[in-house]
């Protein structure tokens, strides 16, 4: 599991012109659309779970990396 702040995740995976705003990402986290954890009031995206997209094999490979 690799947790990253939502704004860092958005910067890494979206072009500046298509990047979702923080309110939308927060909603995705609350609704379970993104694999997130809230730590001390801030949302973190589980990058490995997001990349795996529910595939257990991919998740195990990413966890070993």
Query: What per-residue confidence (pLDDT) applies to 59?
Result: 66
Sheet holding 3-5, edge to edge: 3-5, 42-46, 36-39
Taking the complete model, does pTM exceed 0.85, yes or no? no
Distance CA 52, CA 20 (A): 21
Query: What per-residue confidence (pLDDT) applies to 36?
Result: 94
Beta pairing partners, 5:
44
Confidence of residue 48 (pLDDT cuts 50, 70, 90): confident
Is pLDDT above 70 for 3? yes
Instruction: Please state the rounded mean pLDDT for residues 24-30.
Output: 95
Q: What is the pLDDT of residues 49-58, one digit of tens each?
A: 888 776 677 6
């Amino acid at each position: 599991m690799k947790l990253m702040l939502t704004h860092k995740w958005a910067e890494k995976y979206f072009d500046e012109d298509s990047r979702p705003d923080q309110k939308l990402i927060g909603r995705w986290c609350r609704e379970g659309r993104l694999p997130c954890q809230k730590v001390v009031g801030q949302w973190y995206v589980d990058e490995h779970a997001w990349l795996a997209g529910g595939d257990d094999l991919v998740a195990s490979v990413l966890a070993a990396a």
